[in-house]
């Protein structure tokens, strides 16, 4: 039996100031998977996520989530923006930011109550951030800020998560604990889409891959599309990137285990 | 008009502009606020010319119209041309203000000089306000305060993370529009008291001063309202007691005083606090180094009970002279050092401290060589600064991680207590 598609993108073309940065992106994503979005800087990965979330309007094409229009299923979808997209010198604590995940469910005049706080604390705990709940967010390290964003997303208790570079600026141990958490969420039946830059770990982390470079180069099970040929097509075109790629590809041939981080 | 009514009005205005201004400040729209304030002038003039009265309702209506028009124009300029926001702001601000001045001059020529009552819009004159002006002021301020209470969560979300706000289905455009509209309302109300030219200060200075004192949004809103109100009260009392004095400049002077005081004296973020902190740190490092030198001397000759002269200390490590004697005296007050004649020695407590410093210095060297693979002849300088900042928790972790090593990379003994 074929799994239902959780995301359908139909011929999406997206532009900034009339300059298209994504062309004719068309794919279907099966439910219940951990999906990676890879591609070079400026490839349009963030743009794709924003379009799927309705933050940007496509010039043409449309998106269906859970087979519906976005507005009908908004509560079941959660978005984690790129960490650099906000000014962290904002008067808020880690807990305050996590509580923002509950704002959409709360109506006008309704204040945050004790149960909300407990739920937000639980989400912080999931990311090992409970000790930092009262810390001013500008005083958190980059990796901790990232985890606060993830906790806010968890607080929404969605079925589909779209995360823009949740591993950027995160150390190896934290990355491991986050990926474990994502895996656990997947086993609970959630679908997760993650923009990712480290090609070393792609095979290990993701069931499905979207390879993007202003167009969709490939969409499919990682085992089928994570090939040298498609990688070259995704990252090709820019010479400096190509040389970096040669290095990465070389490491891929040897096997990822030899790569050690401090 | 009675001074009490004026003060009440100023407090209301302070609360409204302090709280709406917090969002202007957080969304980095300070200059936009200034442009809107200036763009209000032609609206006031038009309101008068079209209706021929100084009824506040029509003046406010005109002001709202050109104020909103200016926002629309600035946004359109940025979207449709390649100009950046700062340029758009400059163009719109000067353009609207210029037209406003033309219109006011025209009115003064044609309607007689008693109509120069419109002058008060430049620098504000609370005492010249009419009863009907106050009614409008109260109504608008209450509207603003209620809106902020009602839409607190929404305003917070679009100020911090607009994309996320959109992603959870918030109608971001609507709330942005509402915020802009409320800002225009506050500006329009405020100009009678503070004046067009200085209105932006009442909007943004309170929040930027308050930010030095608090890290919590709700407190920030309350504090900036208080700052705006207090400056308002002080400014209007002064201008009331000196006749022919506009209110705006006095209010802004008090706002600026509070801002300067905040920049200087706020705990943690303030300049003075930061300087004090770095002074304290320097002093602590100096003290640590003296204690450590006692240890090194004793370690070298194996005698931990000998008293040392200050030149002995200075031969071992470079210390500036009057500073060393002063610091030794400080250490004596702290019971870390005792003196007999010209010689100095460590107390029990002093030894404990000295040992700890030497220990964490050497542990850090071990850590660098073992775990970061830095060669042992490169680690000393780094450890010399780090030793002062290693917290007790970190100290324990280092001990555990390195399994209580006996010697440092230079094969000197690590003292444990
Ligand atoms: N707000 C914007 N206005 C104009 N152009 C933009 C805007 N945001 C992105 N772009 C352009 O669109 C293209 C795609 O950007 P996008 O942020 O989606 O890339 P990305 O794949 O997420 O890159 P990165 O890996 O650096 O995060 C880039 O060429 C970028 O310069
Ligand atoms: Mg991106």
Pick the range with the lowest mean pLDDT from A4-18, A83-97, B137-151: A4-18
Task: List the one residue out of A160, A153, A178, A183 whose CA is nearest residue A29.
Answer: A160
Of A74, A81, A109, the CB nearest to B163: A81
Contact list, A103 vs chain B (CB under 8 Å): 153-154, 157, 168, 170
Mean pLDDT, range B100-127, rounded to an integer: 79
- The larger pLDDT score, comparing residue B304 to residue A202, is at A202
Kindly provide the b/e burial profile for residues B59-70, where b requires at least 16 CB atoms within 10 angstroms of the residue's own CB.
Answer: bbbbbbbbbbbb
The verdict on the CB of residue A81 being under 6 Å from ligand 1 is no
How many angstroms is it from A120 CA to the middle of ligand 1? Answer: 32
| CATH architecture designation of domain B273-346 | Orthogonal Bundle (1.10)
Q: Which helix (H) or strand (E) holds A218?
A: strand A215-221
Q: What confidence category does residue B117 fall into, taking pLDDT thresholds of 50, 70 and 90?
A: low
Question: Average of pLDDT values for B165-185?
Answer: 93
Confidence of residue A243 (pLDDT cuts 50, 70, 90): very low
Q: How many CA atoms lie within 13 A of B70 on its CB side?
A: 34
CA dist., res. B203 & res. B16, Å (int):
9
Q: Is the pLDDT of residue B111 over 80?
A: no
Token pair recorded at residue A207: 């069931």
Residue B129 has pLDDT above 60, yes or no: yes
The region of weakest confidence among B199-208, B229-238, B279-288 is B279-288
Question: Is the pLDDT reported for residue B116 higher than 80?
Answer: no
pLDDT of B114 reads 60
Chain B residues with a Cβ under 8 Å from any Cβ in chain A: 26, 28, 149-151, 153-154, 156-157, 159-161, 163-164, 166-170, 211, 214-217, 219-220, 372
Band of pLDDT at residue B305, cut at 50, 70 and 90: confident
Across the interface, of A53, A87, A90, the residue whose CB is closest to B167 is A53
Predicted complex ipTM exceeds 0.90: no
Q: A232 burial class (0-12, 13-18, 19+ CB within 10 angstroms)? A: middle
Residue A159 has pLDDT above 90, yes or no: yes
* pLDDT, mean of residues A85-113: 89
- Give the pLDDT confidence of B382-411 residue by residue, as tens digits: 888 888 888 787 788 888 888 888 888 888
- What is the pLDDT at residue A58? 93
Q: Tell me if B273-346 shares its fold with B351-401.
A: no
pLDDT-derived band at A1 (thresholds 50, 70, 90) equals very low
> What band does A236 get if pLDDT is binned at 50, 70 and 90?
confident
pLDDT in tens, A45-96: 999 999 999 999 998 999 999 999 998 999 999 999 999 999 999 999 999 9
Instruction: Return the minimum-mean-pLDDT range out of A88-102, A229-243, B171-185, B267-281.
Output: A229-243
Strand A215-221: give its sheet, edge to edge: A60-65, A5-16, A19-30, A215-221, A208-213, A34-38, A191-195, A160-163, A77-80
Would you say residue B86 has pLDDT above 50?
yes
- Summarize the confidence of residues B82-111 as an average pLDDT: 90
Query: Hey, are the CB atoms on A81 and B169 less than 8 Å from each other?
Result: no
Residues A122-144 have a mean pLDDT of: 92
Statement: residue A137 has pLDDT above 70 = yes
**What is the model's pLDDT at position A237?**
58
Q: pLDDT over 90 for what percent of chain B?
A: 45
**Model's pTM, two decimal places?**
0.82
Cβ contact B360:B393 at 8 Å: no
Concatenating the DSSP letter of every residue in A92-105 gives: -BHHHHHHHHHHTT
Reported as a single tens digit per residue, the pLDDT across A160-197 is 999 999 998 888 888 999 999 999 999 999 999 999 98
Q: Report the pLDDT averaged over residues A228-256.
A: 56
Q: Are the beta carbons of A98 and A92 closer than 8 angstroms?
A: no
- A231 C-alpha to center of ligand 1: Å? 20
- Within 8 A of A156 by CB-CB distance, chain B residues are 168
- Closest C-alpha residue for ligand 1 atom 18: A44
- Give which of A134, A40, A41, A131 is closest to A84, Cα–Cα: A41
Residue B306 confidence (pLDDT) above 90 = no
* The CATH fold of domain B351-401: Diphtheria Toxin Repressor; domain 2 (1.10.60)
> In a 3-state reduction of DSSP, which class is residue B49?
helix
Most confident residue range from B49-63, B159-173, B301-315, B319-333: B159-173
Whether A14 has a pLDDT exceeding 60, the answer reads yes
The domain segmentation of chain B, as residue ranges, is 3-268, 273-346, 351-401
Ligand 1 atom, smallest distance to A45 CA: 21
Residues of A in Cβ contact (< 8 Å) with B163: 50, 55, 79, 81, 85
pLDDT of residue A190: 95
Give the whole-angstrom CA distance, residue A209 versus residue A262.
28
Q: Among B19, B153, B172, which would you mutate to test the A interface (most chain A Cβ atoms within 10 Å of its Cβ)?
A: B153
Q: Would you give the distance in Å from CA B104 to the centre of its chain? A: 38
Task: Report the distance separating Cα A106 and Cα A103, nearest Å.
Answer: 5
pLDDT at B65 over 50: yes
Residue A239 pLDDT exceeds 60: no
- Per the CB < 8 A criterion, the answer to whether B10 and B126 are in contact is yes
Percent of chain B with pLDDT over 70: 98
Q: Classify domain B3-268 by CATH number.
A: 1.10.3470.10
Determine which residue's CA is closest to atom 6 belonging to ligand 1. Answer: A16
What tokens does A29 get?
């994503």
Average pLDDT over residues A136-162: 94
Q: What is the pLDDT averaged over residues B39-53?
A: 89
C-alpha distances (whole Å) from B280 to each of A140, B80, B336 are 24, 54, 17
Rounded mean pLDDT of chain A? 86
With b for 16 or more beta-carbon neighbours within 10 A and e for fewer, the A32-43 pattern comes to bbbbbbbbbeeb
Alpha helix (H) ranges present in A104-216? 114-126, 142-155, 172-187, 202-205
Q: How many residues does chain B have?
A: 417
For ligand 1, whether the C-beta of A44 sits within 6 Å is: yes
For residues A11-20, average pLDDT: 83
pLDDT tens readout for residues B226-283: 999 999 999 999 988 887 778 889 999 999 999 999 999 988 888 898 889 888 888 8
Reply yes or no on whether the pLDDT at A253 is more than 90: no
């Amino acid at each position: 039996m074929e799994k239902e598609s959780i995301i359908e993108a139909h011929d999406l073309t997206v532009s900034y100031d009339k300059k298209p940065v994504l062309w004719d992106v068309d794919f279907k994503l099966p439910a219940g998977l951990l999906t990676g979005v890879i591609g070079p800087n400026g490839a349009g990965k963030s743009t794709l996520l924003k379009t799927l979330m309705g933050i940007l309007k496509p010039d043409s094409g449309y998106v269906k989530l859970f087979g519906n229009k976005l507005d009908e299923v908004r509560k079941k979808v959660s978005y984690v923006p790129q960490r650099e997209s906000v000014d962290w010198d904002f008067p808020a604590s880690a807990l305050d930011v996590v509580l923002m995940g509950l704002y959409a469910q709360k109506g006008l005049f309704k204040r945050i109550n004790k149960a909300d706080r407990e739920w937000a604390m639980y989400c912080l705990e999931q990311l090992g951030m409970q000790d930092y709940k009262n810390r001013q967010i500008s005083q958190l390290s980059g990796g901790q800020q990232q985890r606060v964003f993830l906790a806010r997303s968890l607080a929404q208790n969605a079925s589909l998560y779209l995360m823009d570079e949740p591993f950027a600026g995160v150390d190896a141990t934290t990355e491991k604990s986050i990926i474990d958490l994502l895996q656990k969420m997947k086993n609970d039946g959630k679908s997760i889409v993650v923009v990712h830059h480290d090609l070393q770990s792609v095979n290990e982390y993701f069931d499905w891959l979207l390879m993007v470079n202003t167009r969709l180069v490939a969409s499919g099970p990682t085992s089928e599309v994570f090939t040298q040929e498609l990688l070259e097509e995704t990252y090709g075109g820019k010479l400096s990137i190509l040389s970096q790629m040669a290095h990465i590809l070389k490491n891929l041939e040897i096997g990822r285990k030899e790569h050690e981080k401090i | 008009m009675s001074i009490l009514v004026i003060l009440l009005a100023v407090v209301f205005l302070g609360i409204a502009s302090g709280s709406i201004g917090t969002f202007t400040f957080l969304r980095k729209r300070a200059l936009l606020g200034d442009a809107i304030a200036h763009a209000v002038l032609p609206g006031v003039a038009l309101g008068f010319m079209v209706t021929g009265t100084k009824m506040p309702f029509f003046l406010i209506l005109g002001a709202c119209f050109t104020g909103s028009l200016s926002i629309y124009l600035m946004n359109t300029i940025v979207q449709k041309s390649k100009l950046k926001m700062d340029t758009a702001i400059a163009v719109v601000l000067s353009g609207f203000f210029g037209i406003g001045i033309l219109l006011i001059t025209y009115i003064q020529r044609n309607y007689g000089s008693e109509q120069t009552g419109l002058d008060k819009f430049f620098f504000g004159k609370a005492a010249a306000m009419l009863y009907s002006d106050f009614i409008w002021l109260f109504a608008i301020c209450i509207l603003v305060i209620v809106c902020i209470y009602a839409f607190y969560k929404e305003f917070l979300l679009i100020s911090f993370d607009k994309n996320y706000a959109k992603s959870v289905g918030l109608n971001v455009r609507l709330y942005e529009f509402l915020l802009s509209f409320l800002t225009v309302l506050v500006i329009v109300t405020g100009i009678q008291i503070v004046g067009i030219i200085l209105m932006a200060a009442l909007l943004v200075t309170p929040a930027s001063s308050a930010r030095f004192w608090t890290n919590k949004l709700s407190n920030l809103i309350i504090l900036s309202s208080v700052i705006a109100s207090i400056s308002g009260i002080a400014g209007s009392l002064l201008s009331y007691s000196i006749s022919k004095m506009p209110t705006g400049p006095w209010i802004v002077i008090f706002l600026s005083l509070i801002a300067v005081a905040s920049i200087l004296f706020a705990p943690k973020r303030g300049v003075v606090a930061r300087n004090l902190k770095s002074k304290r740190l320097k002093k602590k490092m100096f003290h640590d180094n003296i204690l450590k030198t006692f240890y090194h001397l004793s370690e070298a000759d194996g005698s931990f009970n000998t008293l040392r002269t200050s030149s002995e200390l200075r031969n071992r490590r470079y210390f500036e002279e009057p500073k060393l004697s002063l610091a030794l005296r400080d250490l004596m007050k702290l019971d870390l050092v005792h003196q007999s004649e010209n010689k100095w020695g460590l107390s029990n407590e002093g030894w404990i401290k000295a040992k700890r410093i030497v220990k964490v210095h050497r542990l850090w060297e071990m850590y660098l060589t073992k775990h970061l693979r830095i060669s042992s002849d490169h680690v000393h300088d780094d450890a010399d600064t780090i030793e002062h900042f290693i917290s007790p928790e970190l100290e324990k972790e280092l001990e555990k991680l390195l399994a209580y090593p006996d010697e440092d990379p230079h094969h000197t003994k690590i003292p444990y207590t």
